[in-house]
């Protein structure tokens, strides 16, 4: 039985509900800037989220929804340029404080820090998106809370490939059985479990119907003392929100 050493968090959908009112809005703003009449509705975006990575998502959209779209010049360069505009818009939304952390996230991060647990991030999103989210919600020094922020194109294959969690474990110099991963989506848990990590899921509107049969625990949220969470799958909790005591108790049962 290994000792719990680290918590490794996904970002989008886990630390914050960033997709519907953040990334999706930023994509549409970038499309408008470019004079494109593309509008990713909440529903269409839910389909597009099956592909991780914003650049990869744009390409998937073209293949599935705009098969006759063509431009002069290199399509990959066009997508990269469009995605950079999207990122600028997304960073502006973060700086305006438009994307809060999910319930219990700050509390759990602070509990882990207070107990000397290592914290890591393993995400598909662009690195700047992570630093801006952390700075906007937890303050500038919060980037130092994490011993690794593994993000975006740092690995050859994005989620559901296990690359990003394997990379994070290597940087932390820890084994998977010394850590717990936190995710929100089907692609995310395929990646974390693929890296050998026990995974706790918090679902959201886009992911609540995904397959989490390999999850260690599935919740609707981490919860707060005055905002109870619901256990959707796995062992019941001793109290109405997920805290480090619960995590350690569940980890000891592995």
Q: Write out the residues near ligand XBP by the rule CB under 6 A.
A: 10-13, 19, 23, 52-54, 123-126, 129, 159, 188
Judged by beta carbon, residue 49 or residue 229, the one nearer ligand XBP is 49
What's the rounded Cα separation, in Å, for the pair 183 and 217?
A: 11
C-alpha pair distances (Å), 71 with each of 22, 36, 40, 77:
27, 12, 20, 11
The residue whose Cβ lies closest to ligand XBP is 54
Q: How far is CA 227 from the centre of its chain?
A: 22
Least distance CB 205 / ligand XBP (angstroms): 14
Least distance CB 13 / Mg ion (angstroms): 4
What, of Mg ion, ligand XBP, none, does residue 207 touch, CB below 5 to 8 Å by kind?
none
Q: How many CB atoms lie within 10 A of CB 239?
A: 12
Judged by beta carbon, residue 64 or residue 249, the one nearer ligand XBP is 64
What, of ligand XBP, Mg ion, none, does residue 124 touch, CB below 5 to 8 Å by kind?
ligand XBP
What, of ligand XBP, Mg ion, none, does residue 123 touch, CB below 5 to 8 Å by kind?
ligand XBP
Catalytic annotation, pick one of 10, 163, 184, 243: 10
Least distance CB 236 / Mg ion (angstroms): 25
Least distance CB 187 / Mg ion (angstroms): 8
Interface ranges with Mg ion (CB under 5 A): 10, 12-13, 184-185, 188
Judged by beta carbon, residue 12 or residue 243, the one nearer ligand XBP is 12
The residue whose Cβ lies closest to Mg ion is 13
Judged by beta carbon, residue 14 or residue 118, the one nearer ligand XBP is 14
What's the rounded Cα separation, in Å, for the pair 203 and 210?
A: 9
Judged by beta carbon, residue 120 or residue 188, the one nearer Mg ion is 188
What, of Mg ion, ligand XBP, none, does residue 129 touch, CB below 5 to 8 Å by kind?
ligand XBP
Check if 37 is active-site: no
Check if 238 is active-site: no
Query: Residue by residue, what is the 3-state secondary structure of the chain?
Result: CCCCCEEEECCECCCECCHHHHHHHHHHHHHHHCCCCCCCCHHHHHHHCCCCCHHHHHHHHHHHHCCCCCCCCCHHHHHHHHHHHHHHHHHHHHHCCCCCECCCHHHHHHHHHHCCCEEEEEECCCHHHHHHHHHHHHCHHHHHHCCEEEEHHHCCCCCCCCHHHHHHHHHHCCCHHHEEEEECCHHHHHHHHHCCCEEEEECCCCCCCCCCCCCCEEECCCCECCECCCEEEECCCCCCCCCHHHHHHHHHCC
Least distance CB 126 / ligand XBP (angstroms): 3
What amino acid positions are annotated as catalytic residues? Answer: 10, 12
């Amino acid at each position: 039985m290994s000792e719990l050493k680290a918590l490794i968090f996904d970002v989008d959908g886990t630390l914050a509900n960033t997709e519907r009112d953040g990334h999706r809005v930023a994509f549409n703003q970038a499309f408008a800037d470019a004079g494109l009449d593309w509008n990713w509705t909440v529903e269409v975006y839910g389909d597009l989220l099956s592909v991780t990575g914003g650049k990869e998502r744009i390409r998937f959209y073209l293949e599935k929804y705009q098969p006759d779209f063509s431009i002069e010049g290199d399509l990959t360069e066009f997508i990269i340029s469009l995605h950079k505009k999207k990122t600028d818009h997304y960073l502006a939304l973060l700086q305006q404080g438009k994307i809060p952390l999910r319930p219990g996230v700050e509390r759990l991060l602070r509990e882990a820090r207070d107990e000397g647990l290592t914290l890591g991030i393993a995400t598909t999103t662009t690195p700047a998106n992570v630093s801006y989210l952390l700075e906007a919600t937890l303050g500038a020094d919060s980037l130092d809370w994490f011993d690794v922020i593994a993000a975006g194109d740092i690995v050859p294959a994005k989620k559901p490939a296990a690359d990003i969690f394997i990379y994070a474990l290597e940087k932390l110099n820890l084994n998977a059985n010394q850590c717990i991963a936190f995710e929100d989506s089907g692609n995310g848990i395929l990646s974390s479990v693929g890296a050998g990590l026990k995974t706790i899921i918090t679902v959201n509107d886009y992911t609540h119907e995904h397959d989490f049969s390999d999850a260690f625990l599935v919740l609707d949220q981490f919860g707060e003392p005055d905002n109870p969470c619901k256990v959707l799958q796995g062992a019941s909790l001793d109290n109405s929100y997920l805290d480090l005591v619960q995590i350690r108790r569940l980890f000891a049962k592995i």
